Structure 1
Amino acid sequence: MTYATQLSKSDRIGTDMRASVLDPGGALTVQRRPVPAPRPGDVLVRVSAVGVCGSDAHYQRHGRIGDHVVTAPIVLGHEASGRIVAVGAGVDERRVGERVSIEPQRPDPDTAESRRGDYNLCPHVRFFATPPVDGALAEYVTIGSAFAHPVPDSVSDEAAALFEPLSVGIAAVGKAGVGIGGSVLIAGAGPIGLLCAQVARVAGATRIAVTDISAERRCLATTFGATETPAPDHAAAGNGFDAFIDASGAPSAVRAGIAHVRPGGTVVLVGMGADVMELPVSLIQNREIMLTGVYRYANTWPVARELVTSGRVDLDGMVTARFDLDDVDAALSADRIPGAVKAVVYPGGVPDSLNDRTWSGVR
């Protein structure tokens, strides 16, 4: 039986829906809200699965990420999949019923960034779950039709939702320039670090070192592509990496990682930690190291779909917890459970076929 058959529900759309809403003080409540109407060029998606990102937890715990501050109630969640149940004007009605992975952003197509293809850098982009824009922890969302990417029935709803963090990994490894026979050091064995390791393996890297303060996470990294997993204070055992990708956001990890990059190598900052940090400028200059960052992604969904459908990247194996919409508070705390990797919320309820795999600990 395909995922589409397993997880399909009635196509009847009501006038209101349930949504998990975060208040500025950090409290979460499930509220009734009107079902959004698709505007011209939009599709209405019944949300199937939503991956929990560290940014979601950060908004709840700290109320802000950089300049983005929770000043009004907001719906979290930007890693989402679902099924199109209605379309706006100008969208082919044959898309109704299509299973999709949602690319959770609305760039302004008229900006210079969007016109040159860097729509992730559009200064006017509206991104799911970034204040004041609501996200996907609700039963329905709307998105531009071009950003609702079809997925085959061989891809689970969970994997389709995780195309989003996979896209971050694709963008990071692409910036790092890692290729056949290359080497990369990755700091942080959370979901993004593990996805970077998987993508680097697909890209042809033969040396993939993943470091983390947690020995358990380092061990897990070997399952997802790492060829070696040194402890942070032993990373110097392997110098001369072609690239360093920081997926931790820890200033100490960034400084240590830069020191292990060969002359002419590349450093890619992905993790969101301190807004300001000290860097070894003379080392960067003397080695002519290229230093860059990753801000989300652009044009990555077709690559993500190919990597998953071909079996070269495993997303299903990263899911370690499942929750209903009433349990979003617990889902946001799942990252504190030893051995946890990725929690997924089902706004319509965890499917019966997965109920025996829903837990309060690691699968």
Structure 2
Amino acid sequence: MRALVLEERLKLSLRDIELPQAVGPRDVKIAIHTVGVCGSDVHYYTHGRIGPFIVEEPMVLGHEASGTVVEIGAEVKGLKVGDRVCMEPGIPDLSSRASKLGLYNVDPSVRFWATPPVHGCLTPFVVFPEAFTFKLPDNVSFAEGAMVEPFAVGMQAASKAKIAPGDTALVIGSGPIGIMVALAALAGGCSRVYISDHSAAKLEIAGRYDGIEPIKLPEQSVGEVIAAGTDGWGVDIVFEAAGARSAYDGIFGFLRPGGAVVLVGMPVEPVAIDIVSAQAKEARIETIFRYANVYDRAIALISSGKVNLKPLVTGVYPFEESIAAFERAASADPHDVKLQILMG
């Protein structure tokens, strides 16, 4: 099948590639409709690696996808041909100790789309387990279905934060994941979410949502804005979603005593954490890696209208222009949040 293939660092091609298409008894075959361009896809394109995951042979990109079921396995019960679906892109070993604990996202043997050496989904058809394929409600579009994956990261962060109704939060970083975290925090019960960044364009997009208050750096001081908005008490939760070393500077100073810091961003280099400042507030530190057991709830929130992801799609490309979509994503246009590729 024709696919978008990362041949090696900085080299993409649209070409035929042989991919498994045998439908097992509990699998479904899906005609891909929409695929989002993720920051990790772009990082593999520009750097050839993310930490220990190194592109050593050609790999099909893409892991944020929606489509239509065109074939089902003999034992599939919950889906039928014609169903519109989205897919949770990591396939764990369901017999592993991590999976049995409900932590299948950190199963060491998980096979995640477009993570070397596993091929992704930027190709017309994929075969995928029914267990990780989710039917889309009629009022959820393919575009929204393809954004369930990044929104699930926000859902995981909000869940780990243990939000109480009325909490206030700060999100550091207004990239796609930062905005998704802010929306999930609001849906989870936060009364107000501050979001800080240097990008005026991205902050303008985030600020269109009721309940999100942008903080433009360096013109505004995060500490001063938080102090003024909380009577000097601090926010209940800080979500670090930038993955930048500078984001950790003074991070516990924004937090109320006993609050939580949730680490979402993945720094490329080691960062320093002020342990004493964390101890002085008895801060709770949480980390997330992808997501687990949140996909169905993410879809339900989108369907309910309580979370609107549509404004975050800032560019759409046909499959034949996939390389151009990646070149645009790699240029890091500050006005872009989410680019998507239409396969049909």
> Per the shorter chain, which TM-score range?
over 0.9
Contact 1:172 1:268 in 2 (8 A): yes
Aligned equivalent of 2:257, options 260, 263, 266: 263
State the alpha-carbon separation in 1 of the partners of residues 269 and 28 from structure 2: 36
TM-score (norm 2): 0.92
1:225 Cα shift? 4.4
Contact 2:248 2:272 in 1 (8 A): no
Contact 1:87 1:93 in 2 (8 A): no
State the alpha-carbon separation in 2 of the partners of residues 40 and 243 from structure 1: 44
Aligned equivalent of 1:277, options 262, 271, 277: 271
State the alpha-carbon separation in 1 of the partners of residues 210 and 321 from structure 2: 32
State the alpha-carbon separation in 1 of the partners of residues 96 and 210 from structure 2: 38
When structure 1 is superposed on structure 2, of 36-45 and 97-106 the one drifting more is 36-45
Q: Which residue does the alignment assign to 1:319?
A: 313
SS of aligned partner of 1:81: strand
Q: Which residue does the alignment assign to 1:9?
A: none
Question: Identity over aligned residues, as a percent?
Answer: 39
SS of aligned partner of 2:215: coil
SS of aligned partner of 1:40: coil
Instruction: Provide the alpha-carbon RMSD of the alignment.
Output: 1.6
Q: Which residue does the alignment assign to 1:147?
A: 132
State the alpha-carbon separation in 1 of the partners of residues 70 and 192 from structure 2: 45
Contact 2:191 2:211 in 1 (8 A): no
Alignment pair present for 1:29 and 2:25: no
The letter for the 2-side match of 1:62 is H
Q: Which residue does the alignment assign to 2:174?
A: 189
TM-score (norm 1): 0.88
Contact 1:106 1:126 in 2 (8 A): yes
When structure 1 is superposed on structure 2, of 323-332 and 306-315 the one drifting more is 323-332
1:254 Cα shift? 2.4
Aligned equivalent of 2:333, options 334, 337, 340: 337
Contact 1:197 1:224 in 2 (8 A): no
Matches within 5 A, 1:60-71: 60-71=45-56
The 1:226/1:246 distance shift into structure 2, 3 A limit, reads: farther
Long gaps (5+) in structure 2: 228-233
1:63 Cα shift? 0.4
Contact 1:198 1:225 in 2 (8 A): no
Contact 2:33 2:342 in 1 (8 A): yes
The 1:131/1:65 distance shift into structure 2, 3 A limit, reads: same
Aligned equivalent of 1:235, options 222, 231, 239: 222
SS of aligned partner of 2:300: helix
1:87 Cα shift? 1.9
Per-residue CA distance 1:185-219 (angstroms, 9 max, x = gap): 00111111111111111222122100011122222
Aligned equivalent of 1:135, options 111, 116, 120: 120
Q: Which residue does the alignment assign to 2:2?
A: 18
1:105 Cα shift? 1.1
Matches within 5 A, 1:217-256: 217-233=202-218, 234-237=221-224, 238-239=226-227, 240-256=234-250
When structure 1 is superposed on structure 2, of 226-235 and 284-293 the one drifting more is 226-235
The letter for the 1-side match of 2:4 is S
State the alpha-carbon separation in 1 of the partners of residues 114 and 210 from structure 2: 30
Q: Which residue does the alignment assign to 1:105?
A: 90
SS of aligned partner of 1:166: helix
Contact 1:201 1:225 in 2 (8 A): no
1:248 Cα shift? 0.8
Tell me the number of residue pairs that the alignment of Structure 1 and Structure 2 aligns.
332
State the alpha-carbon separation in 1 of the partners of residues 179 and 322 from structure 2: 24
SS of aligned partner of 1:153: coil
Long gaps (5+) in structure 1: 1-16, 349-363
When structure 1 is superposed on structure 2, of 30-39 and 322-331 the one drifting more is 30-39
Contact 2:318 2:343 in 1 (8 A): yes
Aligned equivalent of 1:86, options 64, 67, 71: 71
Contact 1:84 1:96 in 2 (8 A): yes
Q: Which residue does the alignment assign to 2:193?
A: 208
Contact 2:9 2:46 in 1 (8 A): no
Aligned equivalent of 1:172, options 157, 162, 165: 157
